[in-house]
Amino acid sequence: MMKGRYNYNLLGITLGVIITEIAFWVLFALIWVFIKVLVPSFDLENPKWLWALAVLPLMVFLFLIGITWKNRKLNKFSDSALLGYLVPNISSVKTTMKFLLTRYGIAFIIIGLANPQIGTKMEEARYEGVDLMIALDVSSSMLAEDLSPNRLERAKRAIEQLVNELHGDRLGLIVFAGDAYVQLPITTDHNAAKLFLSTIDTDIVPVQGTSISSAIELAARSFDMDNGSGKAIIIITDGEDHEEGVEEAAAAAVQQGIIVHTIGMGSDEGVPIPVYRGRKQVGFKKDKDGSTVITKLNESMLKTIAAEGKGIFVHASNSEVGLKGLLQELRKMDAQELGTLVYTDHEDRFQIFLAVGLLLLFVDLKIGKKKSRWVKELKLFDSV
């Protein structure tokens, strides 16, 4: 009995698999560069899945180790007349084909899970929501650092978090100190709101003070009262040095169907107000007698405004600004369809890759490991 007749052609399998593996990665790189350069609409929804392709070279290594181990086991029987009866139909070609089908089937499935997206599709979506005006105090007392990094920055971060939670709602921004100004007219463009929010500081309003009544009145005038959506004003302030008439302004807003909420920024104990020259702190604010000014949260006044405005008061802290409760109140309001949006979205192509991958695995299951009858009849291929 000729030695090697009933074992695998290890050299042929190794060369075939390695050449195919190199060809795969070269072709993959060329296609990737080609698509990136010539198909600008190409994208991957889940690119992290491509890291799973690293398992493919490991599969090649384990496959070749397994074939080598099987050959060693078979060679122990190389002088046995029983070997021809035990393994008469070993086919190196079919064994290699089955492995490559499995390997490429898995490769296509992994690429499918990454969800290649080529081209775009147009979709129309209707949106509904409420109208919301946020009035932010930018007086110098908002630089106090009883909230981290200070009251104003903590308030801006809270507003950004709130904007992220709004879906379909319209939003406007007002800044106020001794007077009030519209920073952003009411809009559905939440990205614009974030952009305008980033530019706000205490120098944006020249007149110092805390005219909350002016902020409420300006916010009320900024709404489109012809649509039936719910309307709310959120006042974010420490409430210090407020002018008279704020309770009346809140009550007047309620008569127009507008709810007024308040968020208190600061501590009850009080802290000094930093003074900056450029970005460098040069001391603390002093009164005309030379004493350090201490700023405290005027919680009672903000609670009164919220009560008059049929809204809620939230006391902000470093750990929690109270957006959850405020959002729940906003969701109770009557939402109305505000318009339609036409937007583009990428067209998913994962189906093609998953289908090809599953087809390759199915073909692999249908191919046996034994030699075909016509191959057995050709002694030239006894070793394949």
The pLDDT tens digits for 322-372 are: 777 888 888 888 766 555 555 556 677 888 889 998 998 888 887 765 555
Q: In this predicted structure, which of 11-25, 75-89, 285-299 has the lowest mean pLDDT?
A: 75-89
Percent of the chain with pLDDT over 70: 82
Per-residue model confidence as pLDDT tens digits over 164-178: 888 778 899 999 998
Q: Are residues 177 and 29 in the same domain?
A: no
Q: Are residues 134 and 111 in the same domain?
A: no
Tell me what pLDDT residue 188 has.
84
Residue 355 lies in a domain: yes
Tell me what pLDDT residue 337 has.
58
Interhelix angle 92-114/55-75, nearest 10 degrees: 160
Tell me what pLDDT residue 346 has.
67
Residue 255 lies in a domain: yes
Residue 120 lies in a domain: no
Tell me what pLDDT residue 375 has.
44
Per-residue model confidence as pLDDT tens digits over 121-162: 656 666 677 899 999 999 999 999 999 899 999 999 989 988
> Within 13 Å and on the Cβ side, how many CA atoms surround 33?
5
Q: Are residues 320 and 212 in the same domain?
A: yes
Residue 231 lies in a domain: yes
Tell me what pLDDT residue 124 has.
62
The residue among 69, 177, 86, 180 whose CA lies nearest residue 133 is 180
Contact in structure between 313 and 303 (CB atoms under 8 Å): yes
Give the residue with greater pLDDT, 371 vs 250: 250
Tell me what pLDDT residue 127 has.
61
Residue 48 burial class via C-beta count within 10 angstroms: exposed 0-12, middle 13-18, buried 19 and up: exposed
Q: Are residues 142 and 283 in the same domain?
A: yes
Q: Are residues 249 and 367 in the same domain?
A: no
- β-pair type (231-237, 258-264): parallel
Q: Are residues 171 and 202 in the same domain?
A: yes
- Total domain count, the chain: 2
Q: Are residues 98 and 176 in the same domain?
A: no
Q: Are residues 48 and 151 in the same domain?
A: no
Domain span holding position 332: 126-341
Contact in structure between 360 and 108 (CB atoms under 8 Å): yes
Only one residue has tokens 């968020």, namely 263
Per-residue model confidence as pLDDT tens digits over 33-71: 888 777 766 788 888 998 998 888 898 899 888 888 877
* Predicted TM-score of the model (pTM): 0.58
Q: HEC string of the chain?
A: CCCCCCCCCHHHHHHHHHHHHHHHHHHHHHHHHHHHHHCCCCEECCHHHHHHHHHHHHHHHHHHHHHHHHHHHHHCCCCCCCHHHHCCCECHHHHHHHHHHHHHHHHHHHHHHHCEEEEEEEEEEEEEECEEEEEEECCHHHHCCCCCCCHHHHHHHHHHHHHHHCCCCEEEEEEECCCEEEEEEEECCHHHHHHHHHCCCCCCCCCCCECHHHHHHHHHHHCCCCCCCCEEEEEEECCCCECCCHHHHHHHHHHCCEEEEEEECCCCCCEECEEEECCEEEEECECCCCCECEECCCHHHHHHHHHHCEEEEEECCCCCCCHHHHHHHHHCCCCEEEEEEEEEEEEECHHHHHHHHHHHHHHHHHCCCECCHHHHCCHHHCCC
Contact in structure between 84 and 1 (CB atoms under 8 Å): yes
Residue 282 lies in a domain: yes
For residue 19, the tally of other CB atoms under 10 A from its CB is 10
Per-residue model confidence as pLDDT tens digits over 61-75: 998 888 888 777 766
Asked whether residue 96 carries a pLDDT value surpassing 80, the answer given is: yes
Asked whether residue 275 carries a pLDDT value surpassing 50, the answer given is: yes
Tell me what pLDDT residue 14 has.
87
Residue 345 burial class via C-beta count within 10 angstroms: exposed 0-12, middle 13-18, buried 19 and up: exposed
Asked whether residue 217 carries a pLDDT value surpassing 90, the answer given is: yes
Quote the mean pLDDT of the chain: 82
Per-residue model confidence as pLDDT tens digits over 107-125: 999 999 988 887 666 566 6
Tell me what pLDDT residue 79 has.
52
Q: Are residues 45 and 136 in the same domain?
A: no
Q: Are residues 163 and 297 in the same domain?
A: yes
Q: Are residues 242 and 356 in the same domain?
A: no
Residue 4 lies in a domain: no
List 128's β-bridge partners, or say none: 337
> Residue 218: what residue type?
L
Residue 332 lies in a domain: yes
Span 256-280, average pLDDT: 89
The CATH number covering residue 267 comes to: 3.40.50.410
Q: Are residues 14 and 132 in the same domain?
A: no
Residue 16 lies in a domain: yes
